[in-house]
A and B are shown apart, each in its own frame.
Chain A
Amino acid sequence: MSDVREDILARLVAIVATMPSIKNVYRNNVDLTEDQLPAATVLDGDEETSDHTDASMRPANRPTLATMNPEIIIFKIAPDVGPDISTLRAELIKLVLYDTELNQQIVKTGRYGNGAIRYLGCQTDLGWERSMFGALKANFLFKYTLRPEEL
């Protein structure tokens, strides 16, 4: 039994938990309070295949390529939140793109298989609460082989 999608998401939570400036890491927690910050939430992403264009005689249970777009949102309240968020963004991108377990064992990028990991970009949210509030949502793409027989 192996679900690559779940393995990726679980690994993302573990990776974000290693960021020294992040106090709490959650998965799909959509309700936070200021005393939990700085925090990060890993949101399960949509998964897609290109099989809607595949009208061949290929058996339904054969492996196929899937892509998933999880989102990681970082939150912080601080007097000068801009540079703090930038630092966290840089840490996050490096951790995800360089993670050996994600690249070699789970997604199997490069010479390990036909998977891929891409950083797609980020969006920010700013506002005033007790102090300046900043959020950064980083979007990643994971391409991997979905093997129905292993689910």
Chain B
Amino acid sequence: MSHDFSALLFDPVYAILGVPATLTAGAMAAVQITVIDHTRPKSQTSNSVEVRSVESAAFARIPELTAKGITRDKYEGALLSFNGRNWIVRSKELRGSPNGEDFGDVRFLLKAAP
């Protein structure tokens, strides 16, 4: 692959859309990372009744997580704070990159922290 998509794509995107976040995984010390807030509208329909809320999510770069010691097995259950709210990572989606999944980003699916 002749193109470095980390430099061409992810760096500028995260520089513009990213916000500072604090991630605490298990017993590890909290680390500062950059995430993109991906909170989106979501509704549930039961019978004919629609209940509107949000699906809380955030993108983070896998190289940054790895460099700070946050391996994939530590994602779920981690506490993630950004934009004034606290969340728990309940699941994840790996988004990959043309340079390989280890150079892509991950979409954390979040739930409100108690």
Contacts and interface: CB of A to CB of B under 8 A. Distances in A.
Interface of A: 29-34, 37, 41, 43, 71, 73, 75, 77, 79, 125, 127-133, 135, 137
B46 A128 contact: no
Closest 10 CB pairs of A and B: A129-B53, A34-B53, A135-B46, A125-B46, A32-B51, A127-B44, A30-B49, A131-B112, A33-B52, A30-B48
Main secondary structure of the interface of B (DSSP, over half): strand
Contacts of A79: 111-112, 114
B54 interface: yes
Contacts of A129: 42, 44, 51, 53-55
Nearest to A74: B46
Contacts of A34: 51-54
Name which of B49, B55, B90 has the most chain A CB atoms within 10 A of its CB: B49
B37 to A, nearest CB: 14
A43 B48 contact: yes
A147 to B, nearest CB: 30
Given A30-B48, A130-B111, A135-B49, 13 more contacts: A29-B49, A31-B50, A33-B51, A33-B53, A34-B54, A75-B46, A75-B51, A125-B45, A128-B90, A130-B54, A131-B112, A133-B44, A137-B47
Nearest to B48: A30
A77 B53 contact: yes
B56 interface: yes
7 contacts: A34-B54, A41-B49, A128-B55, A128-B109, A130-B53, A132-B111, A133-B53
A127 B52 CA distance: 12
Contacts of B45: 125
